[in-house]
Structure 1
Amino acid sequence: MGIEVGLLGLILLVLVVYAIIKTVGSSASAMGKAIWIVVLLVFPFVGFIAWLIFGPRS
């Protein structure tokens, strides 16, 4: 069970880092970017799904 959880955690980490990079590079306002980054860091799984649906577009 340990290796599966570790692998899923690593995948989630990569996805959250990708979302943060895309958010920083977007044309959203500075406050919008800051809010999305905080949401992604505090709630990684739910935040990533919300970012996919509602996040800033490039």
Structure 2
Amino acid sequence: MSLLLAITILVCDVFAIVKIIKSSAEVGRKYLWVFLICLLPLAGFLLWLVKGPKD
């Protein structure tokens, strides 16, 4: 069960990082989001999901 959770978080983080890199945001903001997601995988993804995408 924990392996499935870890894989799910990893997939979500990779998805978020790809979306961040492809976005039109400033380079500094991109670095900050990627750093946050790498530092805090679950919390970083959830913060990005709430505060990040403007679509």
The TM-score bracket by the shorter chain reads over 0.9
Q: Give the TM-score of the pair, scaled to structure 2.
A: 0.94
Cα RMSD (Å): 1.0
Structure with bigger gyration radius: 1
In structure 2, the residue matched to 1:46 is 43
Q: Give the TM-score of the pair, scaled to structure 1.
A: 0.90
In the alignment, structure 1 segments of 5+ residues that lack a partner are none
Aligned residues: 55
The structure whose RCO (Cα within 8 Å, separation 6+) is larger is 1
In the alignment, structure 2 segments of 5+ residues that lack a partner are none
The 8 Å contact of residues 23 and 36 in structure 1, kept in 2 or not, is answered as: yes
